[in-house]
Amino acid sequence: MKKGIVGGILLVFILFPTAVPLQSQVDDATRIMEQNKTGVVYLVSLGRNKEEVSRGTGFVVGENLIITNYHIISQAHKVEGFTYDNKKVRVDGILGVNKSANLALLLARGRFQNLIIGNFDLVAPDTRLHAVGANEAGEISIVSGSVRSVFPVTPEMKAADLTQSVPLTFSGAPVIDVSGQVVGCLTVLDRGLKFVLPVNLFRSLSRLNDPVDFKNWTQENFFDTLEGSLIAGRIAASINDTGNAQRYLEKVVRATPNNAEAQGLLARVYSEQRDYSSAVNAYKKLIGLEPNRGEAHFELGTIYLKTQSLDEALAEFQKAQELGLVKPEIFYQLGLVYENKKDWQQAIDNYQRYLLTLPSEPTQAQFRLGVCAMEAGDYLKAIGAFQEALKTQPQDYQTNYNLAMAFQKAKQYEQAEDVLKKLIQFYPEDAASYYSTILRMYDEAGMNEKAIEAARKVIELNPQSEVAIFNLGILFQKLKRYDEAVAAFQQAIGLKPDFDFAWFNIGLCFYEQKRYREAIGAFQKYVEIVPDSVEGWMQIGVNHMMLKDFAGAVEPLKKAVSLQPDNGVALYNLAVTYLNLRAESSAREIYQTLVNVDADLAVRLRRLLQR
């Protein structure tokens, strides 16, 4: 028998047996069932000892000619057929087989209706189709659905998956369009892989002059054969059924290790499963078979990139380029490699090369270009890249935020504020956070009045936030508007009485205003909350010193030194206090310690001791 791969298209459709159909769809299904049921046959394959080995469906395409799936009859010593009204059909043998498409042509005897063969080329996505086949009880029934999508399985074949289940016994059923013409053969492979073989393949079946009796045919489990495993592996890989794809394709590569197609498909399956070690090994085997296959080097590079093997990824992408692979995505992948290597300029160059190819979806590349330009300090380029990315995703948080940061780095503060206020429009629930960002931006830029304006907006949104009110106080403090600062800090304390930072900063404000006794009171409240604060105790001591109350300064300064014996400032101030109390010996003892703690302060203290 003549064998070989036959070109064609595989189509898979979605079935909706549980959905509530429209009345017109019910009418179509009823009409098609009535028109075609007499041309559909329930097939049962029997083994050597008359045991059942498989069941499926066939349909009549010519005088006494039945099309079915080869795997249904591949192990049969005898095949029995039954019509829709349960009348037995004599099936004499095999007239033709195309294993590459899992099709068989059988000779049968009986009173049949020839089904009308249509044209698969007229089938398109969303086309309404019907399959008439045998259910698990052997009854002829109909299941209706729609074409989903078509994708390549091989250069000669395309397929798409079925999202709804059908019985295994529907395998071999005719797929019929609304005009009542057969456009393909439903194929249900092992473990539920489903697709439709186009009617165009029927004409390419090689036909024998005389049928071969099933007993004289070499029985085989089709899915244990190379052809069966390969077709199942191709389909499973195409619909991302990685478990089945791995199982079948591993059979193929074990039987034929030099099968480059299977090695490539298996490598892709391992990658989808995130079994990157196995994927690397499979791609290396593929490259060993076809070292000049640029696509294999590219795919291996993507695996290395996913595993952060950056030098290896770079080498594979560059090898793919050397081999002349024309694939715009290679520039994007190179951009990712260089970005991960923190080679910002190389990353920028490759992202720009990728964008020059005018990809259909440039947004992510524009975003990554902006990120790398930010890292390289080219803020104007970053601004342009983020603005381009926002053309397709205007409300994307990360892109808008990065654009605002780029404007800030470029010292275009008003533009940064405008972008952050757009984010407030998009995400009003996060308004306080964005105004806080505006506050920090203007604060860092020294634009205090703008910062105060933003701080007031934060308080307006969160009037019970002691932190928001405290931040306003800090801004007043920086501007030396101490009365307003103290008022803000006291308001924050009203919300949180043990707010230590607020008490501390009140003390600092009073110090700057030379209100030393009030400063001492604030710092004493602070150390009540944070008793181990060296700075707090020292501030109490210093304010006593400013009042020339040196006796009052001793204990808080001694406390600071006890908490941090190597604090040079605390030691120096304590020594100065002793000198003012005419306790020179105590000051000299401190000097001996200070020499080993802070040499500069020790020199200053020595000069005081020498007076």
Which stretch of DSSP H or E encloses residue 229? helix 226-238
CA dihedral sign, ordered 233, 238, 243, 244: negative
Q: How many CB atoms lie within 10 A of CB 462?
A: 16
Spell out the alpha helix ranges (H) of 376-529.
379-390, 397-409, 413-426, 431-444, 448-461, 466-478, 482-495, 500-512, 516-529
Which stretch of DSSP H or E encloses residue 227? helix 226-238
Return the half-sphere exposure (C-beta side, CA atoms, 13 A cut-off) of residue 124: 1
8 Å CB contact between 103 and 201 = yes
Amino acid at 163: T
What does the alpha-carbon distance between residue 578 and residue 292 come to, in Å, rounded to a whole number? 86
Residue with tokens 């033709």: 96
What does the alpha-carbon distance between residue 56 and residue 200 come to, in Å, rounded to a whole number? 21
Residue with tokens 């407030």: 424
8 Å CB contact between 17 and 62 = no
Beta strand extents in 208-261 (DSSP E only):
none
Domains 13-218 and 532-611 share a fold: no
Pairing status of strand 128-134 against strand 174-177: antiparallel
Query: If you ran DSSP here, which 8-state letter would residue 117 be given?
Result: B
What does the alpha-carbon distance between residue 347 and residue 338 come to, in Å, rounded to a whole number? 5
What does the alpha-carbon distance between residue 11 and residue 15 come to, in Å, rounded to a whole number? 13
8 Å CB contact between 8 and 156 = yes
Which of 160, 184, 181, 158 has the alpha carbon at shortest distance from 171? Answer: 184
The domain 532-611 is classified under which CATH number: 3.40.190.10, 1.25.40.10, 3.30.465.10, 3.30.70.20? Answer: 1.25.40.10
What does the alpha-carbon distance between residue 356 and residue 370 come to, in Å, rounded to a whole number? 15
The domain 427-529 is classified under which CATH number: 1.10.8.60, 1.25.50.20, 1.25.40.10, 3.30.420.40? Answer: 1.25.40.10
For the chain, the first-to-last Cα distance in angstroms comes to: 120
What does the alpha-carbon distance between residue 423 and residue 430 come to, in Å, rounded to a whole number? 8
Long-range CB contacts for residues 549-553, cutoff 8 Å, separation at least 24: 550/577, 550/580, 550/581, 551/581, 553/577
CA 66 to chain centre: 47
Superfamily of domain 225-327: Tetratricopeptide repeat domain (1.25.40.10)
Residues in the chain: 611
Q: What's the longest Cα–Cα distance across the chain?
A: 131
pLDDT at residue 144, as a whole number: 87
Tell me which architecture the domain covering 13-218 has in CATH. Answer: Beta Barrel (2.40)
pLDDT at residue 12, as a whole number: 38
Per domain, the residue ranges of the chain are 13-218, 225-327, 427-529, 532-611
pLDDT at residue 275, as a whole number: 97
Q: What is the mean pLDDT of each run of 10 residues along the chain (611 residues)?
A: 35 39 66 95 96 96 93 96 94 92 92 90 84 94 84 73 78 93 87 79 80 94 92 88 94 96 96 97 97 97 97 98 96 98 98 97 97 98 98 96 98 97 96 96 95 96 96 96 97 97 98 97 98 97 97 97 96 96 94 94 93 82
The angle, 0 to 180 degrees and rounded to 10, between the axes of the packed helices 500-512 and 466-478 is 20
